[in-house]
A and B are shown apart, each in its own frame.
Chain A
Amino acid sequence: MAFLTGAKRWQVAIAAVATLFVMAGAARAQWLSLPLPGTPRTPDGKPNLTAPAPKTPDGKPDLSGIWHAADNRFVENLAGEGVDVPMLPAAAALYKHRQETLGQDKPQLHCLPHGVPDAMLVSMIPFKIVQTPRETIVLYEEFNQYRQIFTDGRALPEDPNPAWFGYSVGKWDGDTFVVEVAGFKEGTWLDNGGHPHTEALHITERYRRPNFGNLELDVAINDPGAYPKPWKAVTIHFKLLPDTELLEHLCENERDAGHLGFK
């Protein structure tokens, strides 16, 4: 604000205070709306989503924040609309079955995890990235699930106990956060459309934060048990959800089966 004149500076200050009062008034029992510190703001007090991406003390981009998919375009097909990914026969048969049955046996129907990267694809379901020096933690609001991406230099575990979200290690390639994920339990779906995988799945995620309000992700799928060759998903775009917090979301019960029989 050093470049502003005295009068202008007062206008900005008054606008900022007024905004805080409005936000406080809007706050309900939860922290649905509250001004978070560290958020760059425009003169009217709103979050400045086009401001530069924040940096950590060591100069790396800080991916921390609450994010949601910019749209639902890739929920059904991670490869992009209308793109057919070549599959090995068993995977192709499984995918066909999932498509024909309209996803009736997907894991989340039984309160089981979405998996990687499916857990991030639905625009209405946010996730929070907490970046620390030795690990980056991803908190998925739906079903209160998390991933730990270790950045302390460790290697991926060899022959680990298969896990729903696999095991993740990350490192920086310039301003891109590159995450290697392996050790998956068979059974999650890569997307809502049902792209399958085996325990041989190895995913490479490349995250970039071009500015304060945007995050991009490229996903490369390598699973010789399901696909004849590695393939890449379309770039997934996420938007920041500013001035809010995640809310608890436990899958209390899957009641839909009962509801569907409701008369």
Chain B
Amino acid sequence: MRTTLAVCVAAVGLLLSAEPAVSHHAFTAEFDSAKSMKVTGTVTKFEWTNPHAWFYIDIKDDNGTVTNWGFEMNSPNMLLRNGWTRNSLKAGDVITVEAFGARDGSHIGNAKSVTLTSTGQKLLAAPNQNQ
């Protein structure tokens, strides 16, 4: 059985209310806050590591071509304070990711939120900066 996963890279150049502060390195050196994207795919790997957690998903386009994308998040501590645990994602989970795309167009992004398709649970990857 083949599941077609929608791939939707949203409009570029949206006015964004806040750019995620990636303290450890320069967000602007790697990612573009004007490249907003929303994609759905299947988790292949989740790295719960400092200074940044990463996860990877397989994204299948309408032609059936599968591409593996990597997404950077903040540190595990910031994610813990936002309701994440090291078990929040596992290989095989189908998720929808909202993210900022890479400056150089490579298959990476800086995740803003992750929504698990099975439960509808939405986890924020960048905590509210004005808490």
Contact = CB atoms under 8 A, between A and B. Distances in A.
Interface of A: 28, 30, 32, 70-72, 75, 101-104, 106, 108-109, 111, 114, 122-125, 141-142, 192, 239, 244, 247-256, 259-260, 262-263
B23 A103 contact: no
Given A109-B25, A122-B21, A255-B54, A260 B108 contact: yes
Contacts, number: 95
Given A32-B81, A102-B28, A103-B29, A192 B50 contact: no
Q: Which of B30, B77, B81, B130 has the most CB of A within 10 A?
A: B77
Given A75-B23, A252-B51, A255-B49, 11 more contacts: A103-B29, A104-B26, A109-B24, A123-B131, A124-B78, A124-B127, A248-B77, A249-B77, A252-B49, A256-B30, A259-B54
Q: By DSSP majority rule, is chain A's interface helix, strand, loop, or mixed?
A: loop
B21 A72 contact: yes
Contact of B29 (A71, A104, A108, A111): A104
Contacts of A248: 77
B85 interface: yes
A31 B110 CA distance: 28
Interface string B108-131: 100000000000000000010111
B107 interface: yes
Interface string B73-102: 011111011000100000000000000001
A106 B78 CA distance: 21
B29 A259 contact: no
Contact of A108 (B25, B54, B72, B129): B25
Contacts of B52: 255-256
A123 B21 contact: yes
B23 A262 contact: no
Contact of B106 (A103, A254, A260): A260
Contacts of B77: 141, 247-249
24 contacts: A28-B80, A30-B80, A32-B80, A72-B21, A75-B23, A103-B25, A106-B25, A106-B26, A108-B25, A109-B24, A111-B51, A114-B23, A123-B129, A123-B130, A142-B23, A142-B24, A142-B75, A248-B77, A249-B75, A253-B50, A255-B49, A255-B52, A259-B72, A259-B108
A117 B23 CA distance: 14
A70 B131 CA distance: 7
A111 to B, nearest CB: 7
Given A75-B23, A104-B26, A256 B72 contact: yes
Contacts of A101: 29
Contacts of A260: 30, 102, 106, 108
Contacts of B127: 124
